[in-house]
Amino acid sequence: MTAVGFSKILTPVGIIFHLLLFFTSLQISVNAQNVAPVPKELAGEGMGNKAGVRARLSQLGVNYIATFLKDILIQQVLSVTPENEEFTVQFNDTKARLTDLVLSVQHGPGPLKTKTEAPSQVNIELPEIAFECKATLADGGNNKKVIFHVDTSTLFLNVSSLHHPQGAPKFLISKCQLHLDNKALSISLEGEGGANNNERKAILTELGPELLQQLTCSRIVYVIEERVNQRFALLPSKLNLAQLNNNFIVEDLLKKVEAVRQRQRRAEPPIQTSNENAPVDPDLFASFNVSRADKLLLDYTIIDVRADHRGVEVDSSGEVSLRGRGGTPFGPMPLTLPLLANEENMLQMLVSDFMPNSLLYHGHSIGLFNARVDTKTPHFGSLMRTTCPASTGLLFCLGDFFPTLRRLHPDHSLALLFSTLQSPVIKFRPQSSGGITFSLVGRIIMSLLEGNATKTNKMKETEVAQMQMNVNAHMKIKLSSTTVRPKITLDKISLKTLTPGILAQEELDRSVLLSKEVLQRMVNDILRGGIPIPVHPLLRLHRPKVKIQDRALLLLTNVEFNEPLIRQIVGASLDIKRGV
């Protein structure tokens, strides 16, 4: 190829390359302009940290969970029928197969014991289990029924607590042993009597403990490592803030189960599902822009699991972000649980103020906290006028705060449109260090309303003035089982005019005290729905107590499992034909 020909090829390639660079830089520039500014109070914080929530299940909590799951898992172990489940038995004269194995528990287990140890292991002992195993002993064309009856036994399980790459819980059975001696085992064999049968009963009695251990442990491994882990992997790790209810989780799980079935039949690539279009809970965000609230997702992704003599510790994200994509330009401060486990409570959980601040940051970026006060607003609607007609009997209205506005635009209805100029900031601190603080920088646009609203016509709305609002406040909180509900009290308010020809600064300075009630209500509306406690809906907190730490809330609580939801997850089948 000549140099000229080679240059002809390079020229268009170079043009394409430079065009790509141009459009890439343009896109980066556009994205940078769309990124909400970081409040100076949070700038550069915690960028190397990922855990916004750190929880410790005490030995009491671990024992509760193991006890709760015991009956559910035993039921599944008894009913499950893994494919090709059979065992070969070598008799003196021939080999036979044990098939059609059916387990049933006669009584037990007794009170179980649990122990946690590093790095992430839970040891479980289930004593006093009496059970039977019915099977078919197939010897060529000669089939006989056999029953293994166990008077008492003890099951030992070592379970490693891990997590899937996408952040869901994951469990591995690192040890499974069924302890029983030959005296606790008796054999019933169809057609008893005769030297041949007695010989076979003796061999089955000798091999019985090992065979029953293999049978029991293989089923336990199947139920936990295959079924339960698969269901947990299908659970959403990020849930819509406007839809944190059980029905959605079950419906979403069933959709994913059906998607897995279809992929198994058609061998198609994985189907990604999302809860962005889940129906909105009208009570959670009653005062927010609900049409946008469902775009915020709370991230339950498990980052790390550890265990020691105090219990099991779990780190999770706790980030709220737009569509669950992350990208919060600050992080949580380091979290340190108390050195001693509180054995009076099942759960100790630290929730960083990163969690509410990420909610406020991304909520601000989509205008979630924009609010409007006008003539239709309860409690304040009658005050939203520049002048007060004598017929209303009102002692004052908004125009009395702003004489210039009243003089220039008498007898008009008013609307106030509030928006945040940067994301509000919450900082958790103990009372000795100032308590929980809240700060906000916002803008209020004042508009005149003219005309009468009808079904076909809207009132004419004309913007006439703007002011900037700076608020510093302290906060008290109340806890429910799912939500931290704050009550904000304003400490300092400053209003700065952005339109001095209409709103004189002197008027704003005088109006601050008079308008405090309106502004305090407006600020409280931002967190009226509460801050969700980042506990997965699989668990319910029971009468949580709170201690305020530096930059985190320490919750001390007992927990309850959501039993119907757990049964759905553990018992749901990916294979309808097996019906398990």
Condensed to tens digits (0 to 9), the pLDDT of residues 80-126 reads: 877 788 899 988 878 899 999 999 999 989 999 999 999 999 999 99
Mean pLDDT confidence for 292-297: 76
Domain 59-236 has CATH 3.15.10.10: yes
Q: Which two tokens stand for residue 419?
A: 């928006």
Q: Is the pLDDT of residue 284 over 90?
A: no
- CATH tag for 370-423+429-532 (out of 3.90.1150.110, 3.30.70.20, 3.15.20.10, 3.40.50.10740): 3.15.20.10
Q: Treating both helix axes as pointing N-terminal to C-terminal, what angle do 505-514 and 516-526 enclose, rounded to 10 degrees? A: 70
Instruction: Identify the residue whose tokens are 């140099």.
Output: 3
Q: What is the pLDDT of residue 378?
A: 81
| Rounded CA separation 59/312 (Å) | 8
> For residue 259, what pLDDT band results from cuts at 50, 70 and 90?
low
Q: Quote the percentage of the chain above a pLDDT of 70.
A: 81
Q: What is the pLDDT of residue 257?
A: 56
- Where is average pLDDT lowest: 159-168, 285-294, 551-560? 285-294
What is the Cα 95 distance to its own chain's centre? 53
Q: Quote the percentage of the chain above a pLDDT of 90.
A: 46
Query: For 433-487, how does the pLDDT look when each residue is reduced to its tens digit (9 = 90+)?
Result: 999 999 999 999 999 998 775 555 677 899 999 999 999 999 988 887 778 888 8
Q: Is the pLDDT of residue 384 over 50?
A: yes
> One-letter amino acid identity for 359?
L
> For residue 193, what pLDDT band results from cuts at 50, 70 and 90?
low
Q: What is the pLDDT of residue 578?
A: 36
- Where is average pLDDT lowest: 105-114, 203-212, 230-239, 330-339? 230-239
Report how far apart, in Å, the C-alpha atoms of 237 and of each of 387, 489, 535 are: 54, 35, 11
Report how far apart, in Å, the C-alpha atoms of 152 and of each of 72, 77, 105, 186, 426 are: 21, 18, 11, 11, 58
Mean pLDDT confidence for 529-545: 81
What is the full DSSP assignment across 45-85?
TTTT---SEEEEEEHHHHHHHHHHHHHHHHHHHHH---TT-
Query: For 554-564, how does the pLDDT look when each residue is reduced to its tens digit (9 = 90+)?
Result: 999 998 887 77
Mean pLDDT confidence for 166-178: 93
| Rounded CA separation 386/400 (Å) | 7
Mean pLDDT confidence for 233-259: 66
Higher pLDDT, 242 or 521: 521
| Rounded CA separation 533/525 (Å) | 19
Look at residues 154, 149, 153, 173 and name the one whose alpha carbon lies nearest to residue 162. 173
DSSP E strands, 261-330: 296-299, 302-308, 311-316, 320-322
Q: Residue 58 in contact with residue 342, Cβ under 8 Å?
A: yes
> For residue 292, what pLDDT band results from cuts at 50, 70 and 90?
low
Mean pLDDT confidence for 256-277: 50
Q: Kindly report the number of other CB atoms within 10 A of residue 460's CB atom.
A: 11
Q: What is the pLDDT of residue 11?
A: 41
**Domain extents for the chain?**
53-57+238-280+292-353+538-568, 59-236, 370-423+429-532
Q: What is the pLDDT of residue 209?
A: 93
Q: Which two tokens stand for residue 225?
A: 């490592």
Residues 6+ apart with CB under 8 A from 123: 114, 115, 116, 117, 156, 157, 158, 159
What are the residues facing 102 on neighbouring strands?
134
Q: Residue 350 in contact with residue 335, Cβ under 8 Å?
A: yes
The 3-state DSSP class for residue 454 equals coil
What are the residues facing 385 on neighbouring strands?
413
